[in-house]
Amino acid sequence: MHRVVITGQGTINALGSDVAQTLAGFREGRCGIGPLEFRDVERLSIRIGGQVRGYDPECHFNRQEIALYDRFTQFAILAGREALAQSGLAFLDGSESQQAGVVMGTAGGGLLTQDENYRTVYEEGKNRVHPFVVPKLMNNAAASHLSMTYNLQGPSFTVATACASSNHAMGLAFQLIRAGSARVMLTGGSESMLCFGGIKAWEGLRVMSRDACRPFSANRNGMVQGEGAAVFVFEEYEHARRRGAEILAEVVGFAMTSDAEDIVMPSRQGAARAMRGALADAGLAPDRVGYINAHGTGTTANDKTECAAVADVFGTHADRLMISSTKSMHGHVIGGTGAIELLACIMALRDGVIAPTIGYQEPDPECALDIVPNEAREARVEVAMSNAFAFGGLNAVLALRRI
Amino acid sequence: MAQDVASEVIRIIAEQAVLDPADVTPDSTLETLGIDSLGLVEAIFAIEETFDIQVPFNANDPGATEFDISSVAAIIAAVEDLVAKKG
């Protein structure tokens, strides 16, 4: 069993185009959610989201790359580039490259590419689409382009478990290194579903808020979608030490469970089993956990179920730990959300700053935990946990330790 | 028209509950009919499509919206109101 550490992190999301801006956003309790801007938005009833603003692909990619990269792939590459630069592993070769891979999470994959091209053939009646539609929209495009860009020749694949995709992805990357199947893994998640068709589909489910994402607040009225990516360099501990890499945190535990109950409603038992499993995997007592980055979607059902599950797992310690939902700031980034939220876990461990749950207005007796309302807080944390509970009842929880 | 709205709403609800429309009475509730939250969202979609109306409903807070879903009679009244407002 090898130890696994994180030696690089990168992101782009509604709070900023890199890690520094995003962490500044967490510290300030800044809200990245605002009016959506895209074609036909006036035909939607939900018009807010955590959109990446002022983004120009031509500042980052050449014409050929843009022809091949859907927005979700672009986000993944930008995040991967930042993470690798920090890790000092700019480009691997020889046997090193064969022991390095990529596991990414996404739910929608190249949904913007699909939306644009459906419009072309159905609305505009054209009989021809761009030749790269398929390689652009496929869910593994981001993972594949990361492997090609950085010559990562080991195990690479994409995980699609809706809102838990990136936690599943990072957990599997952790397991691959721990088991000795890889030494370095780029891992995280990416999502870009903020387009007319993407939001129209979500509207139908009637779980979206028209005004704000207010996790754990009694007056919460639904989720708000975001977009973006976060990518991390997971590395075998001795490998990282030998090359003198700066270690951001250690990944110590991971567990996955399935509710086997309902396609949309969350389960207290399924969530609790995943948290207990991650603690057991890490060999940690519950009272070592100082911070949980909640799934915290801002829906009635998730937030009360999650708080009940936390109470089940942590007992009296549930009242001492801090739990916050950063979705209130960057929105729910679906298949990329767990990765962006892991940044808040690492910030808690490294910097001793707990990202707040913003938009909090009214206490809910069913969510009576310390949710770090509205303002970031300084606290020393030894172990942080990240929850993700997906539609379809698929749960994935990671545990990180300060190093 | 009022009679048509009532019978159409009952037809939609009966379809969700997998019941004969005759078994859906005005005092039935979604709970007694065994319609869960997904079934409700689907029924509202069918109502919107049938009557060409927008039903104000958020699954996060079914009680807070002006669209009363406490019984079949309440749903019919709410739909009749929305249809009338449409003109």
Over 90: is that where the pLDDT of A102 sits?
A: yes
- Contact of A201 with chain B, judged by CB distance below 8 Å, is answered with no
For the segment B3-11, the average pLDDT, to the nearest whole number, is 92
Is A195 annotated as catalytic? no
Of the pLDDT bands very low, low, confident and very high (cuts 50, 70, 90), residue B59 is confident
Rounded CA separation A370/A381 (Å): 15
Instruction: Spell out the domains of chain A, with CATH numbers in brackets.
Output: 4-242 (3.40.47.10), 254-401 (3.40.47.10)
Q: Give A257-292 pLDDT, tens digit per residue.
A: 999 999 999 999 999 999 999 999 999 999 999 999
Of the pLDDT bands very low, low, confident and very high (cuts 50, 70, 90), residue A254 is very high
Say if strands A4-13 and A289-293 run parallel, antiparallel, or are unpaired.
Answer: unpaired
Interface test with A, best of B58, B65, B67 (most A CBs within 10 A): B58
Over 60: is that where the pLDDT of B40 sits?
A: yes
- Compute CA distances A27 → A53, A166, A315, A356, A359, whole Å: 20, 23, 29, 8, 14
**If we measure between CA atoms, which residue out of A190, A224, A162, A187 comes closest to residue A31?**
A224
Mean pLDDT lowest for which of A174-178, B10-14, B83-87? Answer: B83-87
What per-residue confidence (pLDDT) applies to B1?
56
Rounded CA separation B25/B71 (Å): 9
- Closest residue in chain A to residue B36, using alpha carbons only: A265
**If we measure between CA atoms, which residue out of A337, A354, A348, A355 comes closest to residue A396?**
A337
For the segment A36-53, the average pLDDT, to the nearest whole number, is 97
Chain A residues closer than 8 Å to B61 by CB? 221, 300
Average pLDDT for chain A? 97
What per-residue confidence (pLDDT) applies to A261?
95
Over 60: is that where the pLDDT of A187 sits?
A: yes
Rounded CA separation A46/A296 (Å): 20
- Compute CA distances A101 → A98, A155, A235, whole Å: 8, 5, 11
Report yes or no for ipTM above 0.85.
Answer: no
Over 90: is that where the pLDDT of A231 sits?
A: yes
Query: B20 CA to chain A: closest CA distance, Å?
Result: 26
CB contact under 8 A, A207 and B60: yes
Q: Give A211-225 pLDDT, tens digit per residue.
A: 999 999 999 999 999
Interface test with B, best of A45, A206, A216, A362 (most B CBs within 10 A): A206
Please report the number of interchain residue pairs, chain A to chain B, with beta-carbon separation below 8 angstroms: 33
CB contact under 8 A, A264 and B37: yes
For the segment A288-304, the average pLDDT, to the nearest whole number, is 97
Instruction: Spell out the domains of chain B, with CATH numbers in brackets.
Output: 2-86 (1.10.1200.10)
**Reduced to 3 states, what is the DSSP secondary structure of residue A289?**
strand
Write the residue in B44, B45, B60 that is nearest to A300 by C-beta: B60
- Contact of A221 with chain B, judged by CB distance below 8 Å, is answered with yes
Residues of chain A with pLDDT > 90, as a percent, come to: 98
Of the pLDDT bands very low, low, confident and very high (cuts 50, 70, 90), residue B64 is low
Write down the catalytic residue from A145, A168, A239, A295.
A295
- Compute CA distances A280 → A256, A277, A323, A341, A357, whole Å: 12, 5, 20, 22, 27
